[in-house]
Amino acid sequence: MNAVNHPVGPAGTLRWLLKREYWENRGGFLYAPLIAGVVSLLMSGVGIAFGLFALHRAARDGNLHMDGEDVNINGLDLALLTRNISAKDMADLGNGLDLTLVLSSAWPFLVLAFVMFFYCLGALYDDRRDRSILFWKSLPLSDTQTVLSKVISALVIAPLIAVVAGILTMFGFLAIISLVAALHGGSPMNLIWGPASPLTLAAGHLSWIPVYVLWALPTAGWLLLCSAWAKSKPFLWAVMLPLFAGIIVSTTKVMTLFGLTSGWFWQNVVGRLLLSGVPGMDLIYRTGLQDSRADLESVTALMGPVAQLKSLAMPGLWIGAAFGALFIFLAIRLRRRAGEI
């Protein structure tokens, strides 16, 4: 029987390239966010243990205070505290728990910022440096497919894994504090899971992925362009060019000719080129630092699915995405003409 060779289509080729990027960068894409989540849980556990030790000692010595009055409790009885808590205090507790859950799940996202930055920076430079580009160009792979596989890996696969790691970390933290509550006479459902909104926050994390894809596009495109263009030290080129441009604009005050300030240039050009890959930057641009105090009054209103998708209405997101797409197009053109360094 003669074997029949079926040609691999563009979709199959892209799928193969994505698998290649994942396996070559599995440490940064998979292990790093998972380890960051575990470290977050370990540090949270240690902090809770020290806090409980201090509370038990204060309760034992009669130094526990509530509302300015001394409270003598034989141990730490959360059931007593739950029975006496008001509805407003319960709402404040839920918002505090939500904020704690967001902070506990932030570690994988911090790792994502570094992974995405340095992955894009070396994605098209490393194979030119070690000359493996000659091997890849000998295969039936287009430069467009190669570059797009790196874009998808940086902006879709890595964030998706980070989101999953963040959600797992969040529920792991919930499990820890639920166990603590149960061991001290409290009901985890009434004291932890009821006031908190873990499902809403998890849905918000998932809804954030398409926002991140578009918001981080200018940084990913700029880094890939520098990776495809720089003959050496792509990090210095990628970082110093925007910084020098910002310094020149600030010293010459050229933005006043357009009715803008140099701060606008730093925020919307330098910041978008270098920091758009940092998770949460879209939140800062959307809400503004002046609104952060009000937003903290309701974490779910800030981090829920509806709030996350509001970033898609920002004109700056789409303008930056257009420039990011242009950078990627230029990186593909440079890749086609790439030779030995």
Mean pLDDT of 166-174: 95
The helix or strand, by DSSP H or E, that contains position 71, with its residue range, turns out to be strand 69-71
The more confident residue out of 97 and 341 is 97
- Judged by average pLDDT, the poorest of 71-80, 216-225, 252-261, 301-310 is 71-80
Q: Are the C-beta atoms of 215 and 323 separated by less than 8 Å?
A: no
Prediction pTM value = 0.85
Could you give the CA distance from residue 217 to residue 316 in angstroms, rounded to a whole number? 12
In a domain, 207, yes or no: yes
Confidence (pLDDT) at 110: 95
What confidence tier does 284 reach under pLDDT thresholds 50, 70, 90?
A: confident
Report the C-alpha dihedral over residues 329, 269, 224, 15, rounded to 10 degrees: -70
Q: Are the C-beta atoms of 225 and 335 separated by less than 8 Å?
A: no
Instruction: Say yes or no to pLDDT of 63 above 90.
Output: no
Cα–Cα nearest to 209, from 133, 157, 142:
157
Best mean pLDDT range from 96-100, 266-270, 294-298: 266-270
What confidence tier does 151 reach under pLDDT thresholds 50, 70, 90?
A: very high
Q: What value, to the nearest 5°, has the Cα angle with vertex 57 and ends 92 and 86?
A: 20
Q: Are the C-beta atoms of 264 and 249 separated by less than 8 Å?
A: no
Q: Are the C-beta atoms of 237 and 262 separated by less than 8 Å?
A: no
In a domain, 15, yes or no: no
Instruction: Say yes or no to pLDDT of 291 above 80.
Output: no
Q: How many domains does the chain have?
A: 1
Could you give the CA distance from residue 331 to residue 309 in angstroms, rounded to a whole number? 29
Residues 104-121 have pLDDT tens digits of 999 999 999 999 999 999
Could you give the CA distance from residue 202 to residue 303 in angstroms, rounded to a whole number? 9
Instruction: Say yes or no to pLDDT of 5 above 90.
Output: no
The more confident residue out of 42 and 131 is 42
The more confident residue out of 246 and 180 is 246
Confidence (pLDDT) at 58: 64
Q: Which residues have a Cβ under 8 Å from the Cβ of 53 and sit 6 or more positions away?
A: none
To which residue do tokens 């002046």 refer? 290
In a domain, 6, yes or no: no
In a domain, 217, yes or no: yes
Best mean pLDDT range from 76-90, 188-202, 314-328: 314-328
Could you give the CA distance from residue 332 to residue 339 in angstroms, rounded to a whole number? 13
Q: Which residues pair with 65 in a beta bridge?
A: 70
Could you give the CA distance from residue 192 to residue 189 in angstroms, rounded to a whole number? 6
Confidence (pLDDT) at 84: 58
When the pLDDT of each residue in the chain is averaged and rounded to a whole number, the result is 83
Q: Are the C-beta atoms of 14 and 149 separated by less than 8 Å?
A: yes
Cα–Cα nearest to 256, from 264, 245, 247:
264
The residue range of the domain holding 95 is 22-336
In a domain, 89, yes or no: yes
In a domain, 2, yes or no: no
Q: Residue 270 CB: number of other CB atoms within 10 A?
A: 19
- What is the percent of the chain where pLDDT is above 90? 49
Could you give the CA distance from residue 327 to residue 226 in angstroms, rounded to a whole number? 9
In a domain, 60, yes or no: yes
Residues 12-35 have pLDDT tens digits of 788 888 999 999 999 999 999 999
Residues 65-87 have pLDDT tens digits of 544 443 444 445 555 555 556 66
Could you give the CA distance from residue 278 to residue 276 in angstroms, rounded to a whole number? 5
Amino acid at 67: D
Q: Which residues pair with 70 in a beta bridge?
A: 65
